[in-house]
Chains A and B, each alone.
Chain A
Amino acid sequence: MTAVIRIVEEFLSSWQYFQEMYLAGWALAVLLPLVGVMVVARDQIFLGAAVAEASTLGVAVGLWLASAGPLAGEAWGESHAFLAGLAVLFSVLAALVASGTSRWGAAEAVTGWVFLAAGSLAVLVISHSPHGMEEVHRLVLSSIIGSSLGEVLVFAALALAVAAGAACCRRRILLILTDQEMASALGVRVRAWNLGLSCLLGLTVGLSLRASGLLYTFGCLVLPGLAARNLCRSALSVFAVAPAVGLATSAVAFVLAHHLDQPPGQMAVALLCGVAALAAGWRRVFPRA
C-alpha cells in the first residue's frame, strides 16, 4: 500500500510539467471509446485503424505541401492547425468511403484498401523529407507529449458533446447500429445518420491522431468498447462503461509509465489489451443468461 502511495506521489510531482499531456490523454480516453462503441457495435474494428492511417496520410501530405509542394516557404503550411485540419479531412474522407461501401458488402475489403493505401502513401509522399519522416514515425509510434491546453479543451468539449448527444438520441443510435432496416421502417433517416456518424468518427480520430498518434488513438477507440461489451448486460450500459474503462485504464497506465519510465501511450494500450482479454475471459466463464 505504501508503495502504491509513493508511486502516485511520484506521479503527482510530475503534474506541473506534464499536466497538458495527462489531461489530453484522459480526455481522449473518454472521447474515443464513446465513438468507438459505434465501431464495435457494427463489427468494423479495423475501420478505426484504417481511418487513423488515413489521418497519418493527411499529416504527411500537409508536410509535403509545406516542404516541397506548392506551399513551400509558407509559414502557416507547417502550422499545427493546418496539419490537424488535413488529418481530420483525410480521416473523415476515409470514414465516408468505408461506410459508404458497406451497403454493397465490400466494407471490409475497402477498409483494408484504405489502410494499405494510406500507410504506403504516407511514407512515399515524404520519404525525402527527414523532418516529415520523423513526424510520421512519431505519429505511428504514438507520443502524447506534445499536447497543448487548447487541445485538452477541444477534446473535453467534444467528449461532453458526444456524451450528451448519445444520451439524447440513445434509442435512435442503438437502432441504427443494430438494425438499419427496422430504423428505416420507423422513419429514421438512416443515410443522414450514417453520414453524421462517419463524420464524427473521422473528426475524432483526425484530432486525436495529431495529438496522440496512431497506436493510442486506435487502442482507445476499440479496446474499451470490446471490454465493455463483455462486461455489460445491456447495450446502453456499454456506452457508459467503455469510457469509464478507457479513463481508468489510462489513469493507471500514465502513473505506471511515469514510475517505470516507459512511454504512456504504449503503456495504456498494453493495459487496455489486458483488460479486454480479462473481460473476454470473464464472459466465457460467466456466459450471459
Chain B
Amino acid sequence: MSVRGAAAGGWTADEGLALAARGLALGYGRRRVLEGVSLEVRRGAFWCLVGPNGSGKSTLLRAVLGVIDPLDGDLWIAPDLASRRRVGFVPQRCDLKPTLPMTVRELVLLGLTGTGAAGRESRADVSWALERVGLAAVARRDYWSLSGGQRQRALVARGLARRPTLLILDEPTNGLDLAAEESILELVAALNRDRGLTILFVTHAIALAARFATHVALFGGGRLLAGPRDEVLRGGHLREAYGVDVEVVLGGAGQPVVRIGPPPGAREAPGKPAGCP
C-alpha cells in the first residue's frame, strides 16, 4: 500500500510496479530540493540515480525509505515494500566509526533490526547474505580488519540479510579503488540478474550506470529525467544536468566510456589568458 498522495488508486492494480511517483516535490523544511519528479520503477529493474552533488539523489532515496515525507505530489510504494521488511539499504561506508569491535557476522545481523527474526532464522539469513557476497569465510573476523572492498561487501550483505526484493544503495562505491568498485557493481548486477532484485543505485560513475543499469534517473537543476538508460544518457541531457559537455561512447573493448569536454561556450570565450581566475 502505501502512500502518500491521492493518485495511489491508479497504480495499485499494476503488480509489476515496485514504486511510482507523480509530480513529487521533496525537500527539508521549506527548502525544496526536487520538484516535478515522475517515474515508475518496475520490479526487476536496475535503476542508477546519477547527477551532480546536492542534486537530490539521496533525498529521493530518503523519501522512498520513508525517512522524509513528500512536500507535494504522490509517491506510491508497493504493499510488500511499504513495511520495509523486504527493503534492503546500503549506506555510504563513511558513516561508520570503529568505536566498537564488531565481527562481520555481527554487523550483518544488524540488517535484521525490526524484522523480529531471531535464533536459527536470523543465523540462516545472515549466512545466506554472507554467502551471496562471498564473505562466508571471514564471518568471524573483525569488520575493521577487512579491506575497503570487503567492508563494502559486508555492508551489502547487511542490506541483503532481510532477503529484500528492493535493494537501495546510496553511493556504496565512494572512496573505493576501481577494482573494488567494479566488484561491487558486478555483485549488485548479479543479484539483479539472478534473483530479480529491484535495484536503486546512487552513483557518480556515469560509465558504470551506462554499463549496468537498465534505467537511469538523471538529476540536475532540481529536476529529474527518468527512463530507459539509452534514452536518458544522451549528451544533451547530461550537458543540461552537469553544465559541461558529457558524452557516453563505446570504448575499444565495447565498454562505455565517458568523455568530458569544456563547459558549453568555453571555446567561444576568447581573450582570457590561461591561469586567470
A interface residues, Cβ below 8 angstroms from B: 40-43, 171-172, 174-175, 177-188, 229, 232-236, 238, 287-289
Contact = CB atoms under 8 A, between A and B. Distances in A.
Interface residues of B, number: 27
Contact of A183 (B97, B113, B142, B145): B113
A181 B91 contact: yes
B100, B103, B109, B110 pick with most chain A CB within 10 angstroms: B100
23 contacts: A171-B110, A171-B112, A178-B96, A178-B100, A182-B91, A182-B95, A182-B110, A183-B113, A184-B65, A185-B89, A185-B168, A186-B89, A186-B111, A186-B113, A187-B84, A188-B114, A232-B101, A234-B103, A234-B106, A235-B102, A238-B100, A287-B145, A289-B145
Contacts of A188: 113-114
Nearest to A239: B100
A279 B66 CA distance: 42
Specify the main secondary structure of chain A where it touches its partner: helix
B66 A234 contact: no
A41 B145 contact: no
Interface in B56-72: 65-67
B66, B84, B106, B145 pick with most chain A CB within 10 angstroms: B106
A183 B113 CA distance: 8
Contacts of B99: 40-43, 177-178, 229
Contact of A235 (B106, B145, B168): B106
Contacts of B11: none
A41 B98 CA distance: 9
Nearest to B117: A171
Contacts of B142: 233, 288-289
B100 A229 contact: yes
A185 B102 contact: no
A15 to B, nearest CB: 37
B113 A171 contact: yes
A178 B102 contact: yes
Contacts of B102: 178, 234-235
B101 A235 contact: yes
A234 B107 CA distance: 9
B65, B101, B112 pick with most chain A CB within 10 angstroms: B101
A-B pairs, 5 with minimum CB distance: A288-B142, A185-B89, A235-B100, A185-B65, A235-B102
Nearest to A233: B101
B212 interface: no
B144 interface: yes
Given A229-B100, A236-B106, A288-B101, A179 B91 contact: yes
A236 B114 CA distance: 17
A234 B110 CA distance: 13
A216 to B, nearest CB: 24
Contacts of A184: 65, 67
B141 interface: yes
